């Protein structure tokens, strides 16, 4: 039974869902904050369910010897080292929509609180002062709201702000003009947004491009008296620059849910009167927490129990219906890749994967990942299905994927062609109705072979006596033949033998096989 650790405070719904799905679960909501303890126990678990408190660093991942999946009950995954997880073949998932309405509502609440200084007015009134003249606010109606990052949350904020009769402009390089039109926002450049916005709200992930997007320079370009809201990530704002601008009046107020250092028990902005701070509460409503807990527990369980992949950030999705149908094709793609990888001795420049017939209409991305894994595995130690596409890219291997309708006799057909500086080598296969993957072409020579764990591959001149000599030699070497598959281009030309054997061949035995008359190449293959 797979075992999952919940190391942050998730709704108990998650625990119940894991149990209902046949997954063993340890609910230790404070463990994520204890780095040493996490390192000690993480090796026991197949899955990890977290929020933002657990930091899944490279060190944690190195200790996570059984970990297969990390599920983030929420959106931001900057607390997970995704490249390191990918390298280890660990799927990283999030729940991209579960808390977006709640977070957008928090941003709007923060904006209105800033406009009317609600927190200070509340504190002053309850302290017995009746400072009616101190708290002069501003209306939001007809004001310009500048949204930086107009994805799921940004678009919901835009919708709510339009309800408040604000004019909404957005800076987001990935926002298409069609989408901007659909959600009724004006797409602008950052400098334009800074120059025009009365309120600026941030809704981008924290990346190298977005870090300090609200810098001293950006603040200087903003309208005097702008109010800034950040319910996304702390690193988006240069906090020191914001502090100076709040003191000078360039920024009239800031409402911050997130901080550079969290938990933020101290922060240079906390002493300023025109700052509203909340402790990363953006996603904290009972509705959002139910949503994300339920989703993450279902997603982790589905992956561990059936291979279904939803909302993964480092692997293509595989639906519950697809998972059983795709499995034999993923297997085929991997063995074709492995065959080609084992046959390749010089550096790979290109990998072409062609899908024909039924398989071309399926979700080919996991098959491509499996094929690349198969190719790279014999050449590199640290590669897996999750990391293979990135490894191929990092190594400058050109990957081409082609899909087309059935052209030959096979209802489904996958061909993988490897290009090196010396040559191109193609190998093709199919999956029979029984679900069995078979190799059907090697170097354009037709054959039909099941790839078994240990095989001998021989190319030879098509001349009488070869099969007898090969069989006799294998017998003399004490190697039992489980299956013998043959193919040839045409009479008297090149022929191929793919022999399933029990046990493995050593270098000396291979040299004896290579020395047989007419043999051009002999190779031991493992699958």
Ligand X SMILES: O=C(O)[C@H](O)COP(=O)(O)O
- Residue 5 dihedral angles phi and psi, to the nearest 5°: -105, 130
Residue 242 burial (C-beta neighbours within 10 Å; 0-12, 13-18, 19+): buried
* Residue 350, strand partner residues: 398, 419
Q: Which is nearer to ligand NAD, 179 or 443 (CB)?
A: 179
Site residues (CB under 6 A) for ligand NAD, limited to 214-253: 231-233
Closest CB to ligand NAD among residues 95, 342: 95
262 is catalytic: yes
Half-sphere exposure of 502 toward its Cβ, with a 13 Å CA cutoff?
A: 6
- The least distance separating ligand NAD from the CB of residue 175, rounded to whole angstroms, comes to 6
The nearer residue to ligand X, 96 or 328, going by C-beta atoms, is: 96
The answer to the question of residue 151 lying near ligand NAD (CB under 6 A) is yes
The answer to whether 130 contacts ligand NAD (rule: CB under 6 A) is no
Least distance from C-beta 284 to ligand NAD, angstroms?
7
| C-alpha to C-alpha distance for 522 and 465, rounded to whole angstroms | 17
Q: Taking CB within 5 to 8 Å according to partner kind, which of ligand X, ligand NAD, none is near residue 257?
A: ligand NAD
- Per the annotation, the verdict on 106 as an active-site residue is no
| Catalytically annotated residue among 186, 244, 262, 450 | 262
> Which of ligand X, ligand NAD, none does 51 bind, CB closer than 5 to 8 A by kind?
ligand X
Q: Do 29 and 6 form a contact (C-beta atoms < 8 A)?
A: yes
Smallest separation (angstroms) from ligand NAD to the CB of 190: 7
Q: If contact means CB under 5 to 8 A according to the sort of partner, which of ligand NAD, ligand X, none does residue 232 touch?
A: ligand NAD
Task: Enumerate residues 273-332 that contact ligand NAD by CB under 6 A.
Answer: 280, 282-283
Residue span binding ligand NAD (CB under 6 A) among the ranges 152-160, 335-343, 435-443, 510-518:
152-160
Contact residue for ligand NAD among 16, 44, 124, 152 (CB under 6 A): 152
- Residue 314 interacting entry, from ligand X, ligand NAD, none, C-beta within 5 to 8 Å by type: none
* Residue 195 CA: distances (Å) to CA of 70, 140, 189, 379: 41, 17, 10, 54
Binding site partner of 438, from ligand X, ligand NAD, none, Cβ cut-off 5-8 A by kind: none
- The tokens for 526 are 């493992």
If DSSP states are collapsed to H, E and C, what string results for 315-355? CCCECCCHHHHHHHHHHHHHHHHHHHHHHCCCCEEEEEEEE
Question: What 8-state DSSP symbol labels residue 422?
Answer: S
* Min CB(130)–ligand X separation in Å: 37
Instruction: Choose the one of ligand X, ligand NAD, none that binds residue 150, judging by a C-beta under 5 to 8 angstroms depending on kind.
Output: ligand NAD
Site for ligand NAD in 181-210 (CB under 6 A): 203-205, 207, 209-210
Residue 158 near which of ligand NAD, ligand X, none (CB within 5-8 Å, type-dependent): none
Minimum CB distance to ligand NAD smaller for 257 or for 298: 257
- Note whether 100 binds ligand NAD by CB under 6 A: yes
Other Cβ atoms less than 10 A from the Cβ of 13: the count is: 17
Which two three-digit tokens encode residue 82? 């995704």
CB of 237 to ligand NAD, least distance (A): 13
Q: Which residue, 221, 207, 277, 283, is CA-closest to 251?
A: 221
The answer to the question of residue 149 lying near ligand NAD (CB under 6 A) is yes
CB of 393 to ligand NAD, least distance (A): 20
DSSP code string of 187-207: E--HHHHHHH-SEEEE-----
The Cα 169–Cα 196 span in angstroms is 9
* 280 belongs to the catalytic site: yes
What, of ligand NAD, ligand X, none, does residue 148 touch, CB below 5 to 8 Å by kind?
Answer: ligand NAD
* Nearest residue to the partner ligand X, using Cβ: 74
CB of 214 to ligand X, least distance (A): 18
CA 481/CA 106 separation, integer angstroms: 69
**DSSP count for the chain of H helices, then E strands:** 17, 22
475-504 in b/e form (b: 16+ CB < 10 A) is eebebeeeebbbbbeeeeebbbbbbbbeee
- 160 phi/psi in degrees, rounded to 5: -65, -40
259 binds, among ligand X, ligand NAD, none (CB under 5 to 8 A by kind): none
- Looking up tokens 């493992």, which residue turns up? 526
CA distances from 373 to 26, 262, 337, 364 (A): 33, 38, 7, 14
255 sits near ligand NAD (criterion: CB under 6 A) = no
Least Cα distance to 374 among 420, 419, 343 occurs for 343
Instruction: State which residue, 232 or 340, has the beta carbon closest to ligand X.
Output: 232
Candidate ranges 93-101, 127-135, 373-381, 464-472; the one touching ligand NAD (CB under 6 A): 93-101
Which helix (H) or strand (E) covers residue 288, if one does? helix 286-306
Stretch binding ligand NAD (CB under 6 A), from 149-157, 315-323, 408-416, 434-442: 149-157
Q: Which residues in this chain contact ligand X in the complex, by CB under 6 A?
A: 51-52, 74-76, 99, 280, 282-284
Instruction: Report the C-alpha gap between 159 and 185 in whole angstroms.
Output: 9
Q: Which residue among 72, 233, 438, 466 is the active-site one?
A: 233
Give the binding site for ligand NAD (CB under 6 A). 74-76, 96, 99-100, 103, 148-154, 171-174, 203-205, 207, 209-210, 231-233, 257-258, 280, 282-283
Give the active site residues. Answer: 233, 262, 280
């Amino acid at each position: 039974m797979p075992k999952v650790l919940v190391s942050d405070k998730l709704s108990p719904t998650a625990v119940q869902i894991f149990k209902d799905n046949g997954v063993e679960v340890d609910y230790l909501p404070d463990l994520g904050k204890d780095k040493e303890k996490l390192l000690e126990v993480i090796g026991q678990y197949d899955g990890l369910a977290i929020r933002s408190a657990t930091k899944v660093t490279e060190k944690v991942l190195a200790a996570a010897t059984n970990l297969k999946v990390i599920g983030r009950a929420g959106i931001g995954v900057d607390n997970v080292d995704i490249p390191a997880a990918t390298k280890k073949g660990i799927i990283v998932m999030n729940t991209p929509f579960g808390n977006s309405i709640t977070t957008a509502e928090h941003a709007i609440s923060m904006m209105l609180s800033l406009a009317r200084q609600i927190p200070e007015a509340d504190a002053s009134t309850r302290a017995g002062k009746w400072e009616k003249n101190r708290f002069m606010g501003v209306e939001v109606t007809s004001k310009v709201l500048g949204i930086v990052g107009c994805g799921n949350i940004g678009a919901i904020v835009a919708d709510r702000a339009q309800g408040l009769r604000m004019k909404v402009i957005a800076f987001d390089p990935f926002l298409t003009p069609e989408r901007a039109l659909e959600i009724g926002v004006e797409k602008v450049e950052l400098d334009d947004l800074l120059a025009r916005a009365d309120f600026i709200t941030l809704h981008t992930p924290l990346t190298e491009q977005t870090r300090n997007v609200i810098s001293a320079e950006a603040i200087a370009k903003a309208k005097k008296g702008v109010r800034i809201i950040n319910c996304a990530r702390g690193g988006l704002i240069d906090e020191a620059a914001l502090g100076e601008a709040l003191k000078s009046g360039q920024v009239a107020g800031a409402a911050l849910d997130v901080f550079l250092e969290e938990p933020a028990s101290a922060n240079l902005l906390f002493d300023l009167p025109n700052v509203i701070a909340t402790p990363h509460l953006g996603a904290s409503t009972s509705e959002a927490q139910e949503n994300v807990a339920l989703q993450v527990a279902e997603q982790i369980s589905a992956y561990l129990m059936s291979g279904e992949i939803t909302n993964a950030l480092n692997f293509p999705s595989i639906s519950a219906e697809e998972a059983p149908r795709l499995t034999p094709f993923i297997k085929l793609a991997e063995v074709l890749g492995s065959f080609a990888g084992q046959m390749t001795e010089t550096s790979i420049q290109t990998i072409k994967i062609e899908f024909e017939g039924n398989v071309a209409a399926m979700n080919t991305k996991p098959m491509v990942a499996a094929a690349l894994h198969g190719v790279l595995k014999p050449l590199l130690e640290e590669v897996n299905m999750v990391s293979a596409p990135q490894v191929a890219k990092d190594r400058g291997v050109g990957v081409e994927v082609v899909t087309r309708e059935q052209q030959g006799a096979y209802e489904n057909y996958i061909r993988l062609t490897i290009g090196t500086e010396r040559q191109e080598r193609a190998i093709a296969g199919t999956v029979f109705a029984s679900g069995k993957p078979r190799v059907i072409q090697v170097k354009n020579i037709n054959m039909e072979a099941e790839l078994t764990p240990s095989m001998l591959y021989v190319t030879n001149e098509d001349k009488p006596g070869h099969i007898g000599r090969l069989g006799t030699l294998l017998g003399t070497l004490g190697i039992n033949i489980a299956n013998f598959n043959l193919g040839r281009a045409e009479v008297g030309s090149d022929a191929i033998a793919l022999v399933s054997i029990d046990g493995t061949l050593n270098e000396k035995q291979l040299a004896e096989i290579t020395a047989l008359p007419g043999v051009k190449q002999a190779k031991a293959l493992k699958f």
